[in-house]
Amino acid sequence: MPAGTLYLIPVPLAEQAAAKSFTPYLVNTINQIKEYIVENEKTARRFLKEAGLRTPQSELIIHDYGKHNRDIPINEFFKGLVAGNDVGLMSEAGCPGVADPGSEIVAEAHRKGIRVVPLVGPSSILLAVMASGFNGQSFTFHGYLPIDKAERSRKIKELETLAQRHNQTQLFIETPFRNNPMLEEVLRSCSPKTRLCIACNLTAEDEFVQTKTIAEWKQKVPDLHKRPTIFLIFHS
């Protein structure tokens, strides 16, 4: 029997954003799948309901691949796929496999010769690049920067240099409750003419995306506390 297909299913980035996130093809796909590998079972079940799942949730097989279950042998998640069942992979938010531990599942699927199908959905990284006005042909996502203040400052300056030297957009994030200290460090470390885009609460009702120079941002600093944010640096 041929193996099943692993479908990579994006989920909303924000509350009340289901209509912006789920395509008709995605809705049709989840109603043909009864097995999932997810980062968080509770939120996955909520997303499936919002997307228009018609299958009773009691009939679903859901494997929780969250941070507390990483010691489970990875082959345990592939029994259904190997047996010929299609399986959906879901992250906690956004696209599975992008800045997400689900990439380990995708890598194993390729090693096992299992077909992988990515579905269209919201990626905060791409949405931020799209809305920034920065170089969309060359950009790098660095994830989280160092927590240590001195190391973080050095890293920010390094990213600023890379942006100028390579005409390349530099993206990074921070844990939402540390956003304000991160922004303060960016404003201290970068030159006044460097441009910074702040993309906050993407797809939410209070979405905030603005690009200004460092000098302009210093005149009015936004409050980003506990608001999911992507920072983008560019120099031209």
The pair phi, psi for residue 221, each rounded to 5°, is -95, 125
Residue 69 has pLDDT above 70, yes or no: no
User: What is the structure's pLDDT at 70?
Assistant: 67
Do residues 13 and 123 touch, judged by C-beta distance below 8 A? no
Spelled out in words, what is the top-level CATH class assigned to the domain 5-118? alpha beta
* pLDDT, tens digit (0-9, with 9 covering 90-100), for 29-39: 999 999 999 99
Q: What percent of the chain has pLDDT over 70?
A: 98
| Domain locations in the chain as residue ranges | 5-118, 124-234
The four Cα atoms 171, 101, 176, 94 give a dihedral, to 10 degrees, of 80
pTM: 0.92
Kind of pairing between the strands at 195-200 and 229-234: antiparallel
Do residues 160 and 189 touch, judged by C-beta distance below 8 A? yes
What is the C-alpha separation between 122 and 12, in angstroms, rounded? 7
Identify which of 64, 56, 3 has the alpha carbon closest to the alpha carbon of residue 36: 64
User: What is the structure's pLDDT at 66?
Assistant: 75
Helix (H) or strand (E) holding 26, with range, is helix 24-30
Q: How far is CA 77 from CA 51, 68, 89, 112, 136, in A?
A: 23, 15, 10, 12, 36
User: What is the structure's pLDDT at 182?
Assistant: 97
3-state secondary structure of 55: coil
Beta bridge partners of 116: 6
Spelled out in words, what is the top-level CATH class assigned to the domain 124-234? alpha beta
User: What is the structure's pLDDT at 73?
Assistant: 87
